[in-house]
A and B are shown apart, each in its own frame.
Chain A
């Protein structure tokens, strides 16, 4: 709890600082905001402000070069290099001879705006102010629960004491009146004997006991091998929330094999590098209370390590360390499941089986993946027949036969054993 509190305050301060900084700056320079926009649309693919990416870091670039030269460079660096400009050649060679895209569409004014943005001083690294630790307070609901429980216990205790007192009082009165209390032997043994004599009761309770234990045993056994909610620790902390949720990347961009094949592949690392060649760190805003920016950047570094990408040289080293992901959805060998049948043919949303992946920080098994679960869905889901010539004839004939307008997967034969078990 303490740690969380720390994070909370840390990021709060950080955000407020950044906010103050931004608003104050935007107040006096109109072109910085424009410059930022231009930078993000045109430059950010290859440049970062403070770190080397495909191109060099751009903060303070205005101070390093002559402005006129910069205009020429941005508009068409290739020509500049070809013309033999010494500085241009030097810059080109420093950056692994990766030619920069020409931007003839940018006006000098635009470039000025961008330069203004890049000339912004870096925001000071926020240091948490000492003595601002906020101790996590127990939540209100917790308090009330405890109080209620305490009160209840007290009441119970009082009741027991009172009963005991009443009993004592009554005995005393009886003693005083000389009444003899018939001491029935109420020991547990006798109760048991009486119970044992009543065969009906024994039978009923034995049956009940058996039924109840069978019920629980069945329930327990049925969850063997069902790994619903399985959420193993992965070698790289990959957040579906960031990728699919915040960035809205389509599932099938990475899991492309799901469209055509049996497997929904775990993406090969070159797919990650399509984007991560340029994204070597997360935005400040990506960090959450739970995971800091440093943490996420560390995970991207793990990807670079695995794929053999040297961030500083912007080059592949060729030394790869394939990632050993822990497989979450494990169907038994005797089940044949084909993703393309469901994803492409039936048009089932990935989330139907995999749950709200876009909200999951770490992927976990959403569905039980039991046969009952499969079959239920087959019973309830209609076959998507629109615009599919395969289904045309069979759907027409079968729906007439069953007297329905829409066939379910089950009616189409989706419950037959051999369709999934071979």
Chain B
């Protein structure tokens, strides 16, 4: 069967005389094998006296020695305290109430400490606390142990003492006073009344001093509008639990809009009660968290949003009918809801913000609460612009900065850096040697908030106390301490704070206030003065856009980028795109096709994408990876802040591009053009499938109307199987005998898909509680992420998920099915979105348990699926047999391994490790344990106190972190508990019920308000 065909490997072979072909024929490896790397150069090798025999002897001896040494137990030293602090008992956790305030995130929290080390952030659940610690707040405890923190003050890059710093600053202040030079104190929003008082005393002593507040991510326009109407530089507060109709125009109020923290109230209104739930209409450009949760989502460009807002205003105020049918419907619903309606906007435009205040006032919205205004944003864009101009003109003598990094966060950072040279003395209080503090005369090492005293007024009715939970790790000083020194005040800041706060404690004692972490009072009412709403609205109505509308936003994981060196946050997948370790420009499918932008999956399961260059005005941002985002409004682009930082970060964390470069005039709405450039970007995306493919049994969804009018069998059907040729409910058929679980505790976790906003606080809480390792970008790309808890995000392929099911059912025949399903892989232009947190389902009939050859995974009577790491031999059968794909394999040793240079690789970072949970080694499987260490601790506490476990005392890390109430954990054998009621709910279903795994995690059918 000889063939005459000749196969050409290369065109080179056509040339008979080619030397390359000859070489290749004779030599498989064209280049010599790089033995040099491990054998060194020949000379030193031959000069070595070590013979081959010697070498073998050494190898043999060291192997034998190593194996012998392994048998010897190491000597472990234990060093007790010399004088044990009375509140510390080794092995027992202490909790301290404190307040996080870093200029971007503000929250009343509890800090869990072990042997004096803060290891976890918990929500402060006292009545009146500003709850809702988001993912970044939960992760902030790891930023305390950042090994790249500024460890002592530096003057001109050299280590210095605080005495030197103070002398230098004081001399400069005196000099400025004598010469009449301007002193500028540039801070982020500290929202600290005591700091304001200290700055005022600095101004009193040095009258040329000016205080400028600069927020990296500015709400300047909203503040201007509120100030114009109410006379206070603050932001209106909203309580969405009181709203029946919520219309959001570009406001991601479940994300970081105006400081965030609205999700708890929102979720309350979203759980159907007595046939009622709130209606949420979202008009926006980017697909945001709020948009993903909306009942109706209308994608629009920024200009269209402005027009829509103007239309809404006219409709509410004068009754004019909006042209756009969807807007008209929204306006009608809003008007019908009367004071149960509310409008919010995230448009970075003072007119838009004014109009919203007008609409809410006109509606007399109950959800709108201007009196209890939010005080956590105070930045003034104009003042910052003026400061840079003054610096350029050489008018600033001394510049004192705290908590800001303008050299990174200003769009005109080049101007700032250049102008900094003309400032005689510059001081930056910073936790990092970042872009700014490396350029200033003095880099003053600032403590983390967990090492500081402070007071924070989060809203007008809240006065919170920040207390240190650990002694300063490094030679740091608080800004406030320095201010006291500079104003020749010898009082310690603690004493100053204590006496200063006396008037704000509303009758509480200092100790009580510190214990609670905050004091709640009633805010004095603010009255609106009339403003020119009509001209604001008409200005809005005239809005036009050319080019692309670029909407800059902050990601749930990264925020303004202060915690960019936090590996938990870097690895945190974005709730919408599910991409970690990156920022990117989001585009609509139509725009991407027009521009030639592509996203594709490669063989190893990774997602790749094109690069684009974005141009805003004269600024270009090069090589920005692009993601095609379903639901992105045509003609708009989205780009997240906080990435592209280069200084004060480990190399692995230096990812993404700096969106602040395009943040001209601190305005998040910009006009941009894009061009596609060469190259392909490798994303670390944890979820490649985008749609649910019409599998309505994974996320069960229904509409409010069906939910209210039809039987549960219709909208929450139990899958049927055939038993003895008779249709039988899948939950009633079983291969296995069930154990009696009615005795003792039986733990269940309930997840309400209506309340879950996808915020991801639970993901980080789980990281912190369970010592989940960080694996890095390239490993995440290989689908080796270790998150025990993931939040799946699904898009609908048609306009709605219901439409998907119709489409799926409609397919007939093989070819049609193939075509239909292929089509259903693509999400719609404006899809419905659903989030579903998935962790180990703790199946009572667990498929993983039956296949483990060494019985490393087994079931407990209390419902938990146990995993004995030390027993696991790493066959991974269990992961293969798990229908929920929740098991995670340790492909490598992730601690004390320089290949994974994250927090577990340095002594400081390891201080965050929870000592009650094992740190897993290479080659073992791990997964959610339902926080068995927490349930065990609760039981033990009850046993020690000789009492029964209290109602809802059991918690897991995720349920405790969930401020929206979507996750509830407890004992279903305790009839008083919440979960015992939830398990009986009509909406309850189990994931993949038809396979009969009998999970102990339950979900609740998502209901959309279709009215």
A390 pairs with B943, CB closer than 8 A: yes
B940 pairs with A261, CB closer than 8 A: no
Distance of B806 from chain A, by nearest CB (Å): 44
Q: How far is the CA of A303 from the CA of B744 in the complex (A)?
A: 49
A224 pairs with B71, CB closer than 8 A: yes
A418 pairs with B864, CB closer than 8 A: yes
Partner of B79, one of A260, A322, A393: A322
Q: How far is the CA of A326 from the CA of B947 in the complex (A)?
A: 38
* B275 lies within 8 A of chain A by Cβ: no
* B91 lies within 8 A of chain A by Cβ: yes
- Residues of A near B71 (CB, < 8 A) are 224-225
B743 pairs with A413, CB closer than 8 A: no
Q: Identify 7 residue pairs between A and B in the complex whose beta-carbon atoms are under 8 Å apart, listed by A's number.
A: A225-B73, A227-B73, A261-B90, A326-B77, A397-B743, A401-B743, A417-B871
Known A-B contacts A340-B944, A390-B948; the reply to A267 vs B870 at CB < 8 A is no
Partner of B77, one of A225, A324, A401: A324
Q: How far is the CA of A338 from the CA of B943 in the complex (A)?
A: 13
A418 pairs with B942, CB closer than 8 A: no
- Residues of A near B943 (CB, < 8 A) are 341, 345, 388, 390-391
Extra inter-chain contacts (10) besides given A416-B858, A419-B936, A422-B917, CB under 8 Å: A269-B80, A271-B84, A307-B82, A325-B77, A388-B946, A394-B743, A401-B743, A413-B744, A416-B861, A417-B858
A266 pairs with B82, CB closer than 8 A: no
* A336 lies within 8 A of chain B by Cβ: yes
* B529 lies within 8 A of chain A by Cβ: no
Partner of B861, one of A323, A325, A413: A413
* B919 lies within 8 A of chain A by Cβ: yes
- Residues of B near A267 (CB, < 8 A) are 80
- Residues of B near A232 (CB, < 8 A) are 75
Contact with A along B848-890 (1 / 0, CB 8 A): 0000000010101110101111110000000000000000000
- Residues of B near A421 (CB, < 8 A) are 866-871, 918
A422 pairs with B932, CB closer than 8 A: yes
A345 pairs with B940, CB closer than 8 A: yes
Partner of A418, one of B77, B740, B860, B916: B860
Distance of A60 from chain B, by nearest CB (Å): 37
- Residues of B near A422 (CB, < 8 A) are 866-867, 916-918, 929, 932-933, 936
Q: Which residue of chain B has its CB nearest to the CB of A322?
A: B79
A413 pairs with B73, CB closer than 8 A: no
Residues of B participating in the A interface, judged by any CB pair closer than 8 Å: 71, 73, 75-84, 89-92, 740, 742-744, 856, 858, 860-862, 864, 866-871, 916-919, 929, 932-933, 936, 939-940, 942-944, 946-949
- Residues of A near B75 (CB, < 8 A) are 232, 326
* A180 lies within 8 A of chain B by Cβ: no
- Residues of B near A394 (CB, < 8 A) are 743-744
Distance of B70 from chain A, by nearest CB (Å): 8
* A276 lies within 8 A of chain B by Cβ: no
A389 pairs with B79, CB closer than 8 A: no
Interface residues of A in 376-422 (CB under 8 A from B): 387-394, 397-398, 401, 413, 416-419, 421-422
Distance of B221 from chain A, by nearest CB (Å): 50
B946 pairs with A390, CB closer than 8 A: yes
Which of the candidate stretches A105-113, A121-129, A132-140, A327-335 sits at the interface with the other chain?
A: A327-335
B862 pairs with A413, CB closer than 8 A: yes
- Residues of B near A387 (CB, < 8 A) are 946
* A270 lies within 8 A of chain B by Cβ: yes
Distance of A15 from chain B, by nearest CB (Å): 37
* A252 lies within 8 A of chain B by Cβ: no
Q: How far is the CA of A247 from the CA of B79 in the complex (A)?
A: 25
Partner of A417, one of B744, B868, B936: B868
B82 pairs with A260, CB closer than 8 A: no
A270 pairs with B83, CB closer than 8 A: yes
Q: How far is the CA of A344 from the CA of B744 in the complex (A)?
A: 21
- Residues of A near B869 (CB, < 8 A) are 334, 421
* A301 lies within 8 A of chain B by Cβ: no
B91 pairs with A270, CB closer than 8 A: no
Q: Which 9 A-B pairs have the closest CB atoms?
A: A418-B866, A262-B91, A261-B91, A268-B84, A268-B81, A263-B91, A327-B76, A334-B870, A417-B868
B918 pairs with A265, CB closer than 8 A: no
Interface residues of A in 9-30 (CB under 8 A from B): none
A332 pairs with B944, CB closer than 8 A: no
| Interface range on chain A (Cβ under 8 Å from partner) | 35 or more
A419 pairs with B80, CB closer than 8 A: no
- Residues of B near A40 (CB, < 8 A) are none
- Residues of B near A256 (CB, < 8 A) are 89
Distance of B958 from chain A, by nearest CB (Å): 16
B946 pairs with A389, CB closer than 8 A: yes
* A257 lies within 8 A of chain B by Cβ: yes
Q: Which residue of chain B has its CB nearest to the CB of A397?
A: B743
- Residues of A near B858 (CB, < 8 A) are 416-418
* A91 lies within 8 A of chain B by Cβ: no
Contact with B along A293-308 (1 / 0, CB 8 A): 0000000000000111
Contact with B along A135-152 (1 / 0, CB 8 A): 000000000000000000
Which of B740, B943, B948 has the largest count of A CB atoms less than 10 A from its CB?
Answer: B943
B918 pairs with A334, CB closer than 8 A: yes
- Residues of A near B91 (CB, < 8 A) are 257, 261-263, 265, 338-339
A268 pairs with B82, CB closer than 8 A: yes
Q: How far is the CA of A269 from the CA of B82 in the complex (A)?
A: 5
- Residues of A near B856 (CB, < 8 A) are 417
Q: Which residue of chain B has its CB nearest to the CB of A338?
A: B940
* A370 lies within 8 A of chain B by Cβ: no
B944 pairs with A344, CB closer than 8 A: yes
Q: Which residue of chain B has its CB nearest to the CB of A258?
A: B91
Q: Which residue of chain B has its CB nearest to the CB of A330?
A: B76
B860 pairs with A419, CB closer than 8 A: yes
Q: How far is the CA of A417 from the CA of B868 in the complex (A)?
A: 6
Known A-B contacts A262-B916, A391-B943, A394-B743; the reply to A327 vs B77 at CB < 8 A is yes
- Residues of A near B929 (CB, < 8 A) are 418, 422
B84 pairs with A326, CB closer than 8 A: no
Q: Which residue of chain B has its CB nearest to the CB of A271?
A: B84
- Residues of A near B870 (CB, < 8 A) are 332, 334, 421
Q: How far is the CA of A389 from the CA of B79 in the complex (A)?
A: 38
B949 pairs with A390, CB closer than 8 A: yes
Q: Which residue of chain A has its CB nearest to the CB of B743?
A: A397
B80 pairs with A261, CB closer than 8 A: no
Known A-B contacts A334-B870, A390-B947; the reply to A325 vs B78 at CB < 8 A is yes
* A320 lies within 8 A of chain B by Cβ: yes
Distance of B19 from chain A, by nearest CB (Å): 61
Q: How far is the CA of A263 from the CA of B77 in the complex (A)?
A: 15
- Residues of B near A345 (CB, < 8 A) are 940, 943-944
Distance of B88 from chain A, by nearest CB (Å): 10
Which of A265, A394, A422 has the largest count of B CB atoms less than 10 A from its CB?
Answer: A422
Q: Which residue of chain A has its CB nearest to the CB of B84?
A: A268
B866 pairs with A322, CB closer than 8 A: no
B90 pairs with A333, CB closer than 8 A: no
Q: Which residue of chain A has its CB nearest to the CB of B939?
A: A390
Distance of A307 from chain B, by nearest CB (Å): 6
- Residues of A near B917 (CB, < 8 A) are 422
Distance of A255 from chain B, by nearest CB (Å): 10
- Residues of B near A260 (CB, < 8 A) are 89, 92, 944
A326 pairs with B946, CB closer than 8 A: no
Distance of B722 from chain A, by nearest CB (Å): 35
Distance of A415 from chain B, by nearest CB (Å): 10
Q: How far is the CA of A336 from the CA of B867 in the complex (A)?
A: 13
- Residues of A near B84 (CB, < 8 A) are 265, 268, 270-271
Q: Which residue of chain A has its CB nearest to the CB of B944?
A: A344
- Residues of A near B80 (CB, < 8 A) are 265-269, 322-323, 325
Q: Which residue of chain A has its CB nearest to the CB of B940?
A: A341
A336 pairs with B933, CB closer than 8 A: yes
A418 pairs with B867, CB closer than 8 A: yes
Q: Which residue of chain B has its CB nearest to the CB of A225?
A: B73
Q: How far is the CA of A45 from the CA of B698 in the complex (A)?
A: 75
Distance of B700 from chain A, by nearest CB (Å): 30
Distance of A262 from chain B, by nearest CB (Å): 3
Contact with B along A242-285 (1 / 0, CB 8 A): 00000000000000110011110111111100000000000000
